[in-house]
Structures are given as structure tokens and as C-alpha cells.
A and B are shown apart, each in its own frame.
Chain A
Amino acid sequence: MATKLAEADAILIGVGLVGSMLGRELTRAGLKVVGRERGEPRFTVPDFQGPQMHDELRYSIRKALMQDNTKESVTFRNTIEQTALPIRRWESFLPGTGLGGAAVHWNGQTYRFQDSDFRLRTQVLERYGENFVGKDLTIQDWGVTAVDLERYYDRFEYLLGVSGKAGHVKGTKNAGGNPFEDTRSREYPTPPMKEPYGSAMFRKAADSLGYHPFPQPSAKLSQPYTNPEGLTMNTCMFCGYCERYGCEHYAKSSPQTVLLPVLLKDKNFTLRTQCQVLRINFDKTKKHATGVTYVDSAGREFEQPGRLIILGSFALNNVRMLLLSGIGLPYDPKTGKGVVGRNYAYQTMSGVQVFYDQKVNINPFMRSGANGTVIADFVSDNFDHGTHGFIGGAYIGEIMTNGRPIEFHPTPPGTPAWGAEWKKAVVRHYNHTCVLSIHGSSVANRKNYLDLDPTYKDAWGLPLLRTTFDFPENDLKMSAYVTQKALDIGKAMGGQQVAGSPRKGPYTITQYQTTHNTGGTVMGNEPATSVVNRYLQSWDVSNVFVIGASNFPQNASYNPTGTVGALAYWAADTIVKQYLKSPGPLVHV
């Protein structure tokens, strides 16, 4: 029997990046907010300190900061005809857990999506005509524009202190920034990070080919910075332990560095960690949520009533919580009807290696999670797709993050996987190889979706989320085209040998690619094709807001976190200025 607690004004399901941001905005507005986080509390001191944090085995290989598969996993299959099986250990993507969420172990690559990303369907139809989009593709517009989100992107970047060079400020293009970005209201809060050797060689090569290289916008700071919350961060030291690690230097923007010290002091905020939310509860009308039921670390069940519910967990978990709670119609790939779990997308990744002479010391260990130089010439609709037969694109960059040798020991194609020749090649190439990343978009299609697994359960006896995913032909074509451009840049970088190949199917969970899982609680202007309205409010239950990369109707070329942050501030602003004054649906259709 659940113990019933006192009612809160708002409940956060998950206290990661989104939960921390909404917690701060809602307490600031005077609400009493409780944050329910399933993982452990953790802080820069003592949890992220060196030298123990610099342990590749524990954090990269054994994945100490990630969701424990024995408690919650997901099942996976490539196609609807197959039987989905549980991901028994994470590899292709790594869901985080714990206070601060995945924003503790992220790399900090902080981009803005372009206006052409937000109006993708309209853009493609206008520029290329009705027949250009394959009939299985379910791409759609977001219901917001770059203009709508500009001030929220700006606010998020200033919260984080992002280091970068703006390419387009108040309608004026600036040399050295991203010339393809939509106009922004001001420069980045801090200047770009130092440029490592390989990135400098990439810049030169990209320049020589007529492209437009710019420093990757980074939430690893180039200099000390005090954010609008009054919290001060330090300069990134290029230690080479970033993704999959917490930052000991207070140099990585995370809830722990940019928000939590303020939020946790607020008397209107209560944090409860190791609380596993099982479901969102309703009144008899099924149109109004009354709170959540959760289990604490000792197995005791509680009912937490609340007037407003913010579902801000990892994209996949947002979808699962709606399905477990019965909010919204689940998507059915056979009929195309239903919305929850629809438009599950990912990211289409590939890589190119440039092998140098032994005289060239790349020093891959002197790196940071979001350093490096990129080009956006093949992003989104920044180039003419007319003759290519695909939509979307990718950025190309020399953005190496580390030289940790269990995972990073590049060898040229044809080298055996073990033995004397392998060892010689590892020694020969370790410090003399650059890697280029091709970070590509992912279209939504009819066949890729999320639902509840009929067989496999979590540690609380609830169904796991089932993922059905394979790379759409469109994205494999895109990868082939842009990877060839990266190979050409690699050849212009002065190495002895260049190797790389585009992404090929089928999608496999056995190889790390990225944790940018998107969709499933898509935002939009039509309840028939979206789960939440343009303010991220559930169409079905108006006091539930769902916020995260699960809102993306399809995934763009750039990394998603900047857009998740902008959407979180956009939703928070609407809740505070409109919803709280008159609770109820914000959009009527």
C-alpha cells in the first residue's frame, strides 16, 4: 500500500538537465517543486575528483555513470518481423542516470538547429517538390521556428557559458563563425577554445577546398565565466577524460556547475534521489494528472500528488513513462495511427582516419569533449540536394575528444586484429593519427518506432521499452555523400594514408555510435501527428509537459543538447507566463 505524501505544486520526473532547468524556473515563480530522481546524488566534490575520475576502464568500458541494465534496459530489433531482444549491456548508445543526468557525462557540443531543420517538411517541399520525399518518410515541421527559439537558445548558452565564435549576429555575418547559422542576438558568452593540432590541419585543408571551418561551440569553457545564476566556472584543462566522465575542474557545464548549487538552496525545492517513478496517475476524467507513484531505494511505494508534472527524463524514458501511464495513443506502424512512440530517430555517424608520418605528433590525449574545428557546408539544407536523392546532411569535423588507449588505438585498414603486426601498427600510429567525425541527420520513417515490449521486464516488473530501428535508405545515401567529402578533406590534410567508410546498415547495438536517440513524444501543431503541442504540453493531459529530445519530429545534423536546452526554457517561459495564470490547454484545435 502506497504512502500518500503532501501535494506539491509541481513534480519533476528526472532531475537531469531539463529537470534542473524547470526546477529553477518554477521555484523562481514561487511554486513548491519536488524533484524525483531515480539515480544517486553526486557532485563535483567528492564524486568527480581526480585522479580516480581518470579511469578509462571504470568509466568508459564498464560505464560506471550509465543506467544499470539489470534495473532498466530496452529491447531492440531492426524490423517489425523480428523478435526484439534486450540490450544486455549498453554499447551503441549510453543512457545516463543520477542527479544531473546525461549532462554530467556529456561532451558539451552545444549547437543550434537551423530554421530549415524546424520547417523541414515545408522546406523540402518548397525547394524540391512533392515527389522528392520518399513515401515512407514521416518528416514534419516542429511548430516552432528559429526566430521563436532564438532568445531561449541565447539564454541557454549564457547559462552554460558556451565558448564559440558567432557567424551571424543581428543580421551581420562575421568571419570565423558558422556562416550558415540563423541570426543571433549576440556573440557567444566566451571565446572559442584553443585549437588542437589536428583541428588546425583540418581548418587549413577545409579552407583550401573552399569550405567554411569554424570552432565547435563548446560547453567546456575557454576561460573562467560567471553565469546569470551567479555560479562561476573554470577553464577547461584538455585532460582528455570528458565524455562518459564527470568533470573535476568545474569546466564542463552541467547541472552540478550551472544550476544545482542555487536550486538546492531554494526552500521551495525538495530533491529526492533514488526514487523510481512507476507511473503518472489521473483523476476519473483521464484528462487531468493527479501525481505520480514511485518506489524508493528501500522498496517502499509512495504516492506523490502534484498539480503540474514535468516529464524531463532521457528521450527513451519519456516515451516509456507515457506508455506505462497510458497517456496518448500508442503508435501502430501497421496502420500509421497513433502518436506515442512514433518518429523514433537517431543520428547517422561515420568516421575518417588520417594516418600521418611518425614525425607528426598529434598528441590525441590533449583534448576536450567539445574542442575542434568543423564545417557546416553539408549540414541540413545548406547545399543543393536536387541531384542527390536524399534530404538532410552532416557536419564534418576534427573533434577528437581523447587518446584513451583501450578504445583509441587506430590502425590502417588491412592490419590484423591481434598479434605481432597489430601491436607494431598500434605503436606506430597511436600518436600520429587524426580522426574526422561525420555527424549526420536522421529522418523519421514509418517503420522506426517505440512501444512496450511484450516479454521483457525491468527490476520493478514493468515492461521494457521496445525499439524498432534500422537506417532509412535516405540516411545511408546521405552518409555516402558526406563521408566522401570528409575523405577528400582528409586527403588534403597532409597524411600518408586516409581511410574511412560511410555508415552502412543494418543498425547494430554492438558498436558505439551516439546517444542521440530522438522522437517518440514529438511536438507539433496537429494532435494526429504529435504527442505534445508547440509548448511541449500533452495534447491529452494538459497538466503534463514532456520535455527532451523525444520532442524532435526527426533528428538534425547538429548535436541535440542546445536544442533541448532552448526547448526547456521555451516551455518554462510559457508555463510561467501563460499556463500558471490559467491552467488548461495552451493550444486549441
Chain B
Amino acid sequence: MDKISRRSFFKAAGAAAASTAVEAYGLTPDKNVAPSQNSSAHTTYTFFNAAEVALIAAAVERLIPADENGPGALDAGVPSYIDKQLSGAWGAGERLYRSGPWHSGTPSQGYQLPFTPAELFRNALRGINENLSRAGKAAFAKLSAQDQDAYLKSLQSGNIDLAGVPSKVFFESLLGLTIEGFFSDPVYGGNRDMTAWKMIGFPGAYAAYYHLVDQHGIAYNRPPMSLAEDGRGVIHIHSDIPATPSQGSK
């Protein structure tokens, strides 16, 4: 929770564990990126193929990079979170009204594409590879951090056709899922070790602040709680989510 322990976390992580996550995805090691001991290298993916994982892993780390405040989206397990969302019911269009006819509509009418989230990602990722290769560029994961940022900005603001998916729509989905994975309960595979909650000071699933709410301005220092934690502080990730188990430290 406090700044001192965050700094010591990075000191402890040290050079020995450096860049494992980055190298595991075939990414260019970036000396400015803080490494982590909790590499997501062991995560099993059920939706993305290897090339897709490399792209997603690189992209989410640009969206929420590691810095002096703590780990970024990659070490928080966000690629695993997105993978499980896309391979599950939500990715298949759960609660998504899917009858035609299909019209693009106005911006105020919201999402009007026939793609499920899973279809949208599959098409858009293929489209990005084609788009980069047509431009004579390397795969996204192999680009420098600056070039990755520039390409992400072109997706965000431009209207590049990614195998039928407007790049802006894909970018917004990716950013939305990245923020979800970063800040949702670790039971879903992201926010590993509640790292994002510790960073901002959100206590998670606790249920009672009645005795504190009128102690105005109080510094709340209790470690956060996951809804899947047992009495020893081990987070039990749902059996449908074959992501790396938590180290269980609070």
C-alpha cells in the first residue's frame, strides 16, 4: 500500500529476475521497464495463439506500463485475463443482442457490428498483422516501444480496416479489457497479487467501513482482500481460469 514498500519491491525483484516476462514474449527488452518476479511466462492460453499472445502482451504493457509506482498490465496478468474473457461466455456474445439487420448507425447508437468479442479480436489481430506487413514493418511485438505507441495511436484515432473491424472499435475494446483486467478481482486472472489495488489504495472486497467513514481523511493501510482469498491469504483462482496461481503474499 505505501510508497516505501513499493520501492523495496522493485529493489528485491532485482536483476536476477529481470526481463523474464519481456523475453518470454520475444519482446525487445526495454531497460526502462521495471521487471517483476511474478512473470506471466507460465500462463496457459486457451483463446490466443502464440503470435496473438505476443501482440497482446506487448500492447497491454504499452497501455499500462510498469513504472516506479508498480507493475504494468503484463505483470498484472492482463493478457491472461483477456484470454479467459474471450474464450468464455462473454467472448461468445453473452448478453449481446445479435439479431440483424446490421447498420453502422450513428456514434450515439453504440456498438452495431455483428462480431462477438471473440470474433472481433480474432479478425482485428489478423488485420493488424496484415496491415503492418503491407507497410513493410515488423510484427507489433518486435517494434520499439516508441513505434508501438505510435501504432497504437494510429489504431485509436484512425479508421484502419482490420479485417472488417474499424481499428478505433478494436482499440477501445482492447483498452477497456486491459483496464478491466488490471483492476478486477484477481480471481479472473488479472490484477495478480492485487498489485493494481495496492498501487492506488483500493481495499477490494471488504464489506464494512462503518467505524471509519466519519474519521475524515484517515490513512487506510489495511492490505486489500480478494473475494477468492482463504484465511491464509492465498487467492484461489477459479478452476476455469488456468492462469499462474498467485504467490499468495499479502
Chain A interface (Cβ < 8 Å from any Cβ of B): 50-52, 54-57, 61-63, 68-70, 73, 76-78, 82-83, 85-89, 91, 194-197, 200, 235-241, 248-249, 360-361, 363, 365-367, 371, 403-406, 409, 417-420, 422-424, 426-427, 430-431, 455-457, 506-510
Contacts and interface: CB of A to CB of B under 8 A. Distances in A.
Chain B contact residues: helix, strand, loop or mixed: loop
B83 to A, nearest CB: 15
Interface string B58-101: 00001111010110100000000000000000100111111101
Contacts of B67: 420, 423-424
A366 B212 contact: yes
23 contacts: A54-B204, A56-B183, A57-B180, A57-B188, A70-B93, A85-B112, A88-B112, A89-B110, A194-B213, A200-B216, A240-B209, A365-B202, A366-B213, A371-B213, A405-B202, A406-B179, A406-B184, A419-B65, A423-B67, A423-B72, A430-B201, A431-B200, A507-B108
A114 B149 CA distance: 54
A405 B183 contact: yes
Given A366-B209, A510-B111, 18 more contacts: A50-B207, A56-B184, A57-B184, A85-B112, A86-B97, A87-B110, A194-B214, A236-B210, A238-B213, A239-B209, A363-B213, A366-B212, A405-B197, A406-B179, A418-B64, A419-B64, A423-B65, A507-B108
B95 A62 contact: yes
A63 B96 CA distance: 12
B185 A56 contact: yes
A363 B103 contact: no
Contacts of A52: 227
5 closest residue pairs by CB, A with B: A366-B209, A508-B108, A51-B227, A430-B200, A197-B216
A508 B110 contact: yes
Nearest to B190: A57
Contacts of A360: 217
A73 B110 contact: no
A82 B105 CA distance: 9
A248 B210 CA distance: 15
Nearest to A92: B110
B220 A363 contact: yes
Contact of A419 (B62, B185, B187): B62
Nearest to A79: B106
Contact of B227 (A54, A194, A403): A54
Chain A contact residues: helix, strand, loop or mixed: loop
B15 interface: no
B50 interface: no
Nearest to B109: A85
Chain A CB within 10 A, most for which of B72, B98, B101, B201: B201
A429 to B, nearest CB: 9
Given A50-B207, A54-B227, A409-B200, A89 B96 contact: yes
A545 B130 CA distance: 60
Contacts of A63: 95
Contacts of B70: 427
Given A56-B184, A237-B210, A423-B65, A76 B217 contact: no
A70 B101 contact: no
Contacts of A77: 106, 109
Contacts of B4: none
Contacts of A85: 103, 105, 109, 112
A207 B156 CA distance: 44
B133 to A, nearest CB: 25
Interface string B177-212: 011100111011000000011011111111111101
Given A88-B98, A363-B212, A510-B108, A427 B199 contact: yes
Given A78-B106, A363-B218, A51 B209 contact: no
B224 to A, nearest CB: 10
Contacts, number: 182
Nearest to B202: A405
Interface of B: 62-65, 67, 69-70, 72, 90, 93-99, 101, 103, 105-112, 149, 152, 156, 175, 178-180, 183-185, 187-188, 196-197, 199-210, 212-214, 216-220, 225, 227
Contacts of A91: 110
A406 B206 contact: no
Given A195-B214, A365-B203, A62 B90 contact: yes
A409 B196 CA distance: 12
A430 B202 contact: yes
A241 B63 CA distance: 27
A70 B97 contact: yes
Contacts of B218: 361, 363
Contacts of A403: 202
A418 B182 CA distance: 13
A191 to B, nearest CB: 13
B170 to A, nearest CB: 14
A225 to B, nearest CB: 15
A506 B196 contact: no
A506 B201 CA distance: 36
Nearest to B200: A430
A509 B110 CA distance: 6
Given A78-B108, A196-B213, A420 B184 contact: no
B116 to A, nearest CB: 11
Contacts of B65: 419-420, 423
A365 B103 CA distance: 41
Nearest to B63: A418
A159 B89 CA distance: 40
Contacts of A361: 217-220
Contacts of B62: 418-419
Contact of A506 (B94, B108, B217): B108
Contacts of B97: 69-70, 73, 86-89
B77 to A, nearest CB: 14
Contacts of A417: 156, 175
A252 to B, nearest CB: 13
Nearest to B229: A51
A463 to B, nearest CB: 12
Chain A CB within 10 A, most for which of B156, B203, B206: B206
Contacts of B219: 361
B226 to A, nearest CB: 8
Contacts of A507: 108
B63 to A, nearest CB: 4
A63 B95 CA distance: 9
A87 B213 CA distance: 38
Nearest to A50: B207
Contacts of A68: 95
Given A240-B209, A418-B63, A510 B107 contact: yes
A501 B230 CA distance: 45
A295 to B, nearest CB: 19
B149 A419 contact: yes
A133 to B, nearest CB: 27
A357 B196 CA distance: 21
B183 A409 contact: yes
